[in-house]
């Protein structure tokens, strides 16, 4: 009607409604007059044929009154046949009754030569969905190339919308298949060929459209037919029958063939009646397909109508959930890419870590039950926390590690949970040390400031003594002595604060040694660094820092710490092997032998 590839009659995938009468078929020449001046009804001029099927043909025609091109479907049967006229009129009434963006609009129902009815519809430039699924020519393959699984599922979703609307108007289609779906050049999706449709309840057109309980012959296409229809139980046709057909179309999307295969019509009908359908993964072993989508198809293809999704809307919702899940998986993959980039580009790591976390959070929002997404989020936050520790952003490290532990616990990833808890503990201890250090520095600054103030006061007093008379000299000297005494006291307090800070250094050095011995190299580096902040003259701390940084792949920090160790102890026997091992790690991947040698050098008395 508005497509160029309306399928010709073929077995077994032809549409069956009633036995065909070859003698009742009119040749096209009797319908079509002269190509340049052919009137086929009230104000319509016939043009080229667009396609034909077993019981009808579709022509492009010009509507003279509005000077526009429309599609005209004509009967190929004898117009005097009451059953043919009734069926054709029923299709016209149903199509006109169902005004929906995904159902082809009907303009008119006219009378043509020999009393044949003419169904006038909108002409849309496009192809049948089957052409996009199974392209044959070079042109068709080029057009179909841009249609991946996501695009085909979008088409199927629009078909579901049209069928759900029909069900709401108490109409079942009964012949849903790729041939009966038109895909336009601008994304239009139109369900066509409502010739097998029937009313399953009261509707405005029930007087002109057969009811399901009145059906006595097979309706639909055997290759897609629901078991209840194939068994002749046509009176039981319902919206779940259309759901089966929608599942059959999805099955063909996944496997490349309809659910019922066979060489002859009888074989196909027998398979359809039995409802025995191979799993999509078995029917197309050479194709990759999402298991979730295959399960949706098989749920709709259940032989028992009561075990299928209850409506086209319910089936469409399953497709929508799958598409959301697929999008969530893509986001998780994008997060993995960002994490890999962060590990390779330390200078830009912060931004990549933030992106990875954002991608994972969006994936979980779209699919709350996505366990792999939660695992990925826990890993991203843990990596970010470790990175923050290395840059001494202790509060950020604590926040990210704490969140990572929560995500790991929710997803039962106890290995990640334990690692996150370790980072939380390291960040807490580093934060406490930083707070203590800042506190002592503030005290030291106050004491030094007071001393400076007193010294200035003394100088001022001294100057005043010079300028004043001798009688005030004694009082000024007394004030100066008092200032000197207070300054001396301030100096003692400052030295006490420094000694107190240095007194903590051996404790942090001992922690660093224990952490290195227990193979907690990141923690060893942090503890050694803390000890050196308190007392930079601890040569052993520089040695442990160099080794720990080297074993955590921070070669720059390792080399810097090694040079400080060399300055502190230029004759130390461990200096040479340390230089050799760190120099090797700068150019080669770390090996178990490197780790063992490093541990021997550091842990030897």
Q: Are 257 and 13 in contact (CB under 8 A)?
A: no
Tell me how far apart the 2 most distant CA atoms of the chain are, in Å: 146
Per residue in 128-167, pLDDT (tens digit) is: 999 999 999 999 898 888 899 999 999 999 999 999 999 9
Task: Look at the alpha carbons of 375, 381, 384, 385 in this order and tell me if their dihedral is positive or negative.
Answer: negative
State mean pLDDT over 257-261.
92
pLDDT for the residue 14: 39
Most confident range, picked from 310-314, 444-448, 466-470: 310-314
Whether the per-residue pLDDT at 12 is higher than 50: the answer is no
Q: If you write DSSP's letter for every residue of 346-364 in order, what string do you get? A: GGGHHHHHHHHHHHHHHHH
CA distances from 532 to 60, 153, 439, 551 (A): 88, 62, 18, 19
3-class state of residue 314 by DSSP: helix
State mean pLDDT over 100-124.
85
Q: Give Cβ neighbours of residue 93 (< 8 Å, ≥ 6 apart).
A: 205, 208, 209
> How much is the pTM?
0.64
> According to the CATH classification, is domain 327-487 in 1.10.600?
no
Phi, psi of 111 (to 5 degrees): -115, 130
What residues does each domain of the chain span?
38-123, 126-310, 327-487, 519-603
pLDDT for the residue 307: 95
Least reliable range by pLDDT among 41-45, 121-125, 519-523:
41-45
Per residue in 534-547, pLDDT (tens digit) is: 778 888 888 898 88
pLDDT for the residue 173: 95
pLDDT for the residue 165: 97
pLDDT for the residue 44: 83
pLDDT for the residue 159: 97
Share of the chain above pLDDT 90, in %: 27
Q: Report the C-alpha gap between 118 and 411 in whole angstroms.
A: 63
State mean pLDDT over 260-274.
89
CA distances from 47 to 65, 119, 163 (A): 16, 15, 31
Q: Are 410 and 440 in contact (CB under 8 A)?
A: no
pLDDT for the residue 242: 97
Least reliable range by pLDDT among 321-335, 468-482, 501-515:
468-482
Whether the per-residue pLDDT at 22 is higher than 60: the answer is no
> According to the CATH classification, is domain 126-310 in 3.40.50.10070?
no
Looking from the CA of 598 toward its CB, the CA atoms found within 13 Å total 29
Q: Report the C-alpha gap between 51 and 5 in whole angstroms.
A: 6
Q: Are 585 and 555 in contact (CB under 8 A)?
A: yes
Whether the per-residue pLDDT at 501 is higher than 70: the answer is no
Least reliable range by pLDDT among 42-51, 454-463, 508-517:
454-463
Radius of gyration of the chain (CA): 42
Task: Look at the alpha carbons of 270, 274, 275, 278 in this order and tell me if their dihedral is positive or negative.
Answer: negative
Q: Report the C-alpha gap between 399 and 392 in whole angstroms.
A: 13
Share of the chain above pLDDT 70, in %: 83
pLDDT for the residue 94: 92
| Confidence class for position 529, pLDDT limits 50, 70, 90 | confident
CA distances from 77 to 41, 56, 69, 492, 597 (A): 17, 8, 25, 116, 93
| Confidence class for position 273, pLDDT limits 50, 70, 90 | very high
Which residue in this structure is represented by tokens 């200035």? 456
Whether the per-residue pLDDT at 492 is higher than 70: the answer is no
DSSP alpha helix (H) spans, 345-413: 349-366, 371-390, 394-410
Q: For residue 242, give the nearest of 155, 169, 311 by alpha carbon.
A: 311
Least reliable range by pLDDT among 48-57, 290-299, 355-364:
48-57
Residue 354 tokens, joined: 């933030």
Per residue in 206-225, pLDDT (tens digit) is: 677 888 887 777 788 999 99
State mean pLDDT over 590-596.
88
Whether the per-residue pLDDT at 169 is higher than 90: the answer is yes
| Confidence class for position 465, pLDDT limits 50, 70, 90 | low
The answer to whether 350 is a known catalytic residue is no
The residue among 25 and 298 whose pLDDT is bigger is 298
Per residue in 563-590, pLDDT (tens digit) is: 888 888 888 888 888 888 988 888 888 8
Whether the per-residue pLDDT at 15 is higher than 70: the answer is no
pLDDT for the residue 484: 60
Whether the per-residue pLDDT at 512 is higher than 50: the answer is yes
CA distances from 256 to 181, 248, 253, 263, 419 (A): 17, 11, 6, 17, 47
Average pLDDT, the chain: 81
pLDDT for the residue 27: 33
| Confidence class for position 428, pLDDT limits 50, 70, 90 | confident
Per residue in 342-389, pLDDT (tens digit) is: 877 766 678 888 888 899 889 888 888 888 888 888 888 888 888 888
| Confidence class for position 404, pLDDT limits 50, 70, 90 | confident
Q: Kindly give the interhelix angle for 349-366 and 371-390, rounded to the nearest 10 degrees.
A: 160
Least reliable range by pLDDT among 92-106, 116-130, 302-316:
116-130
| Confidence class for position 494, pLDDT limits 50, 70, 90 | low
Q: Report the C-alpha gap between 296 and 279 in whole angstroms.
A: 11
pLDDT for the residue 560: 84
Is-same-fold flag (126-310; 327-487)? no
pLDDT for the residue 5: 35
| Confidence class for position 68, pLDDT limits 50, 70, 90 | very high
Phi, psi of 62 (to 5 degrees): -100, 125
Pick the catalytic residue from 5, 36, 45, 175. Answer: 175
Chain centroid to CA 191: 29
Q: For residue 174, give the nearest of 239, 271, 128, 227 by alpha carbon.
A: 239
pLDDT for the residue 25: 29
Phi, psi of 220 (to 5 degrees): 115, -165
Q: 38-123 has which CATH code? A: 3.30.200.20
Whether the bond into 254 is cis, omega within 30 of 0: no
| Confidence class for position 19, pLDDT limits 50, 70, 90 | very low
Q: Are 335 and 363 in contact (CB under 8 A)?
A: yes
Q: Report the C-alpha gap between 237 and 174 in whole angstroms.
A: 8
Whether the per-residue pLDDT at 293 is higher than 50: the answer is yes
pLDDT for the residue 154: 95
Q: Report the C-alpha gap between 32 and 76 in whole angstroms.
A: 11
pLDDT for the residue 252: 96
| Confidence class for position 483, pLDDT limits 50, 70, 90 | low
pLDDT for the residue 475: 61
């Amino acid at each position: 009607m508005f497509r160029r590839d309306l399928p010709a009659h073929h077995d077994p995938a032809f549409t069956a409604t009633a036995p065909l009468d070859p003698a009742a078929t009119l040749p096209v020449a009797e319908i079509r007059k002269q190509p340049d001046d052919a009137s086929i009804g009230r104000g319509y001029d016939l043009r080229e044929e667009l396609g034909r099927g077993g019981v009808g043909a579709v022509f492009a025609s010009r509507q003279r009154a509005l000077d526009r091109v429309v599609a005209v479907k004509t009967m190929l049967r004898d117009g005097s046949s009451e059953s043919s006229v009734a069926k054709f009129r029923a299709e016209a009434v149903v199509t006109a009754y169902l005004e929906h963006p995904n159902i082809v609009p009907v303009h008119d129902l006219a009378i043509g030569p020999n009393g044949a009815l003419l169904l006038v519809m909108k002409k849309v430039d496009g192809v049948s969905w089957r052409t996009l699924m199974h392209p044959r020519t070079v042109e068709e393959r080029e057009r179909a190339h841009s249609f991946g699984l996501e695009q085909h599922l979008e088409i199927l979703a629009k078909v579901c919308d049209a069928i759900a609307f029909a069900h709401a108007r108490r109409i079942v289609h009964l012949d849903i298949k790729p041939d009966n779906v038109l895909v336009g050049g601008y994304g239009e999706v139109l369900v066509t060929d409502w010739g097998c449709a029937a009313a399953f309840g009261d509707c405005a057109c029930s007087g002109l459209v057969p009811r399901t309980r009145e059906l006595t012959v097979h309706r639909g296409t055997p290759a897609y037919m629901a078991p209840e229809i194939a068994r002749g139980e046509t009176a039981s046709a319902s919206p779940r029958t259309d759901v089966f057909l929608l599942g059959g179309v999805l099955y063909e999307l996944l496997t490349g063939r309809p659910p019922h295969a066979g060489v002859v019509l009888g074989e196909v009908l027998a398979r359809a009646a039995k409802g025995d359908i191979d799993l999509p993964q078995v029917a197309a072993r050479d194709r990759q397909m999402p298991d979730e989508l295959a399960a949706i198809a098989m749920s709709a293809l259940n032989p028992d109508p009561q075990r299928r999704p209850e409506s086209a809307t319910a089936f469409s919702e399953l497709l929508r959930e799958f598409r959301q899940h697929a999008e969530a998986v893509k986001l998780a993959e994008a997060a993995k890419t960002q994490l890999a980039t962060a590990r390779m580009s330390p200078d830009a790591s912060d931004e990549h870590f933030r992106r990875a976390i954002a991608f994972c959070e969006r994936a979980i929002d779209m699919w709350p039950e996505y366990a792999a997404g939660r695992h990925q989020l826990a890993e991203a936050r843990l990596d970010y926390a470790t990175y923050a520790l290395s840059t001494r952003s202790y509060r950020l490290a604590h926040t990210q590690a704490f969140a990572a532990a929560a995500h790991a616990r929710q997803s039962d990833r106890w290995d990640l949970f334990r690692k996150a808890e370790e980072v939380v503990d390291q960040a807490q201890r580093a934060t406490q040390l930083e707070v203590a250090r800042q506190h002592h520095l503030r005290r030291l600054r106050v004491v030094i400031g007071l001393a400076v103030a007193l010294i200035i006061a003394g100088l001022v007093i001294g100057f005043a003594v010079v300028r004043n008379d001798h009688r005030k000299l004694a009082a000024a000297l007394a004030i100066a002595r008092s200032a000197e005494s207070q300054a001396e006291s301030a100096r003692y307090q400052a030295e006490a604060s420094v000694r107190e800070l240095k007194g903590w250094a051996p404790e942090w050095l001992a922690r660093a040694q224990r952490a290195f011995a227990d193979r907690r190299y990141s923690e060893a580096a942090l503890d050694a660094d803390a000890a050196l902040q308190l007392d930079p003259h601890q040569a052993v701390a520089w040695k442990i820092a160099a080794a720990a940084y080297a074993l955590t792949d921070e070669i720059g920090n390792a080399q810097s710490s090694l040079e400080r160790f060399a300055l502190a102890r230029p004759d130390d026997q461990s200096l040479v092997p340390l230089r050799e091992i760190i120099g090797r790690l700068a150019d080669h991947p770390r090996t178990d032998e490197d780790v063992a040698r490093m541990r021997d050098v550091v842990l030897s008395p």
